[in-house]
Structure 1
Amino acid sequence: MTTSPSISAVSALMLLALATVWGGSFFFAEIALTEVPPLTITLHRVVWAVPILLVVVRLLDLRLPRAPRVWGAYLVMGALNNAIPFSLIFWAQVELQSGLASILNGTTAVFGAVVAGLLLRDEPLVPLKIVGALLGLAGVAAIMGPDLLRGVDLRNLAQMAVLGAALSYALASVWAKRALAGQAPQMNALGMLMGSSLLMLPLALWVDGVPRFDLSAHVWAALVSVAALSTALAYLLYFAILRRAGAANLMLVTLMIPPFAAGLGAVFLGERLGAEAWTGFGLIALGLLVTDGRVLRRG
């Protein structure tokens, strides 16, 4: 049986940094939403990250692929991993606190294990993954509460939008493994962001109109931060941790993002999460640990 690489001190610090910048994306979005509509925030996030990653790809002396098949795969990846989930989460944050959105987004890893088990032969849907998924669903139920049974309101729809984003992320991971395994990871990050920029430009213009540029300084700072830190830097950290510590250890970042997002929201935005949100987070976290399986094997 293969074992996951151990987490060194450097990898642990990189995981902490990744959780910070990804948790920060929910915080930056809350600030940007005061003046910018959701789809336009997504457009800013992907467009401004492209030149940063283009510089990185140039410094690494990586060549842009020429095969149309690869660029088609980048377009699909950009939709599944950027355009769809970013837009759903930012739209949901109009109704939800940043910390709560990050907790619901924590179902990504559990969804990922189930989707991979259904669609990939080398990652079967073993009983632990099923139990983990059920725990994750219990966490979602704890957060959404019995009000959902009485009728669907805008807040419920926002919560389901975040779950839709998590499912989109899960499908993206399977697509990447099937269609982009032979490409350099930094090139994959650049290619999918170029693809998502191409998708978001007409969509944002159609729905939101021409973007405003007379924004407050703090809103511009949030937009630049979500692009440079929560997107460009985050993907570079993601692939560096993947190489150093492996995919299983990388999943741990899912448990670390909500405390950072909730902490930033509490300190700077005055947000407070109720007991049901933290109960849900605990069940989702337990579901991830069961899905991962290492804690149970060691026990």
Structure 2
Amino acid sequence: MEQAMSQQPSIKALDWSLLALLSVLWGGSFFFSKLALADLPPLTVVLCRVSLAALALFVYLRATGTRIPRARPVWGAFFGMGLLNNIIPFSLLFWGQTQIASGLASILNATTPVFAILVTKALAPETDVTANRLAGVALGLGGVAVLVGGDALSDKGFPILPMLACLGATLSYGFAGFFGQRFRRMGIAPAIGAFGQLTASSLLMIPVVAVMDRPWTLAAPGMVTLGAVLALALMSTALAYVIYFRSLSAIGQLNTSMVTLMIPASAILLGSLVLGERLAMNHYAGLALIGLGLIAIDGRLWRRLRGASA
């Protein structure tokens, strides 16, 4: 395992540029969704995001001549992944953002690798968890505790439920990561998997939104909201997937995962400059602990320090 990790491809200037762009796109998803939620309910925003992104990826796949599978087991996997990777986390994050700042939601979302390790160990106990990953989990959970702070125990209207909703989204992402491992065994290409899960998510969300939100009764959204929805679907979902898959192919999973460290910075910057959001000091302290946890989980810095001291 250590050898496989050390053989990750090197990162070139173009790769760094694409990772930075990906962090802006995914960090921007918190910003765009905050704008969209001003006029639209969370479930409707979820449906708009997944359906428009699925349509965009369908056009992309057709333009590249990629064949879309029709086998039932494949689409069963798409529906399972769509539920875990899109519907549940998007719904929880968007509802949470109606109560808390987009930057804080992005910090909580950065705990995804921590929950991924916990889920993997729970569902596959034979999985080897290294000491640096255990340290990363501890730091990440410590960061969450700092984020919540002592105010969670007070009666001052602290938004504990929205924060728990965001953490529930990261837990769902953890299950999705474990579930999605079957895609490689089934021979499903990443772009096909993205299109399939987004399409399945759209089909599942249509009746839910029809019953819960009755969107035909809502007031017509403004141009800012429409623009935010389009940006959320086309830029932060469809385009982001294409860049993500390119990065996976070019520099590997471990290198690509570093984007997780960069997303909160983009979301916080956009929220501060455009939305006027301000975060408390414990939020930044929690972000620092989560960042240290992710660095520990990644493990490369620790290995380099050990190599330098050897």
Fold conserved (TM > 0.5)?
Answer: yes
Whole-angstrom distance in 1 between the partners of 2:205 and 2:158: 24
Q: Could you tell me how far 1:218 is from its partner in structure 2?
A: 0.5
Matched, 1:72 2:79: no
What is residue 300 of structure 2 aligned with on the other side?
294
Whole-angstrom distance in 2 between the partners of 1:148 and 1:196: 34
Which residue identity does 1:244 align to in structure 2? A
What is residue 38 of structure 1 aligned with on the other side?
42
Contact 1:114 1:125 in 2 (8 A): no
Matched, 1:281 2:287: yes
Q: Could you tell me how far 1:114 is from its partner in structure 2?
A: 2.9
SS at match of 1:165: helix
Structure 1 residues 122 and 236 mapped into 2: Cα distance closer, same or farther (>3 Å)? farther
Q: Could you tell me how far 1:125 is from its partner in structure 2?
A: 2.0
What is residue 201 of structure 1 aligned with on the other side?
206
Q: Could you tell me how far 1:149 is from its partner in structure 2?
A: 3.2
What is residue 128 of structure 1 aligned with on the other side?
132
Match of 1:19 among 10, 18, 23: 23
Matched, 1:190 2:195: yes
Which residue identity does 1:92 align to in structure 2? G
Structure 1 residues 67 and 152 mapped into 2: Cα distance closer, same or farther (>3 Å)? farther
Q: Could you tell me how far 1:213 is from its partner in structure 2?
A: 6.8
Whole-angstrom distance in 2 between the partners of 1:63 and 1:122: 36
Taking structure 1 as the reference length, the TM-score comes to 0.95
Which residue identity does 2:56 align to in structure 1? I
Whole-angstrom distance in 2 between the partners of 1:124 and 1:221: 45
CA-atom RMSD in angstroms: 1.7
Match of 1:245 among 234, 244, 251: 251
Whole-angstrom distance in 1 between the partners of 2:126 and 2:73: 24
Match of 2:85 among 76, 81, 88: 81
Which residue identity does 2:74 align to in structure 1? V
Q: Could you tell me how far 1:54 is from its partner in structure 2?
A: 0.4
For residues 114-125 of structure 1, the aligned pairs below 5 Å read 114-120=118-124, 123-125=127-129
Contact 1:74 1:188 in 2 (8 A): yes
What is residue 256 of structure 1 aligned with on the other side?
262
SS at match of 2:173: helix
Taking structure 2 as the reference length, the TM-score comes to 0.92
Structure 1 residues 122 and 194 mapped into 2: Cα distance closer, same or farther (>3 Å)? farther
Whole-angstrom distance in 1 between the partners of 2:120 and 2:10: 23
Deviating more after overlay: 142-151 vs 234-243: 142-151
Identity of aligned residues (%): 44
Deviating more after overlay: 51-60 vs 218-227: 51-60
What whole-Å deviation, never above 9, does each CA across 1:181-227 have from its counterpart, x for those lacking one? 41111111100000110111111122111254721001000000000
How many aligned residue pairs are there? 299
Q: Gaps (5+ residues) in structure 2?
A: 306-310
What whole-Å deviation, never above 9, does each CA across 1:5-59 have from its counterpart, x for those lacking one? 1111111111011100100010011111111011110010001111110011112
What whole-Å deviation, never above 9, does each CA across 1:87-115 have from its counterpart, x for those lacking one? 10000001110100000000012222332
Q: Gaps (5+ residues) in structure 1?
A: none
Contact 1:102 1:257 in 2 (8 A): yes
Whole-angstrom distance in 2 between the partners of 1:287 and 1:193: 30
Deviating more after overlay: 264-273 vs 150-159: 150-159
What whole-Å deviation, never above 9, does each CA across 1:54-99 have from its counterpart, x for those lacking one? 0111122221112100000000100111111011000000111010
Which residue identity does 1:176 align to in structure 2? G
Matched, 1:158 2:172: no
Matched, 1:112 2:116: yes
Matched, 1:171 2:180: no
Whole-angstrom distance in 1 between the partners of 2:62 and 2:111: 35
Contact 2:82 2:200 in 1 (8 A): yes
Q: Could you tell me how far 1:118 is from its partner in structure 2?
A: 3.8
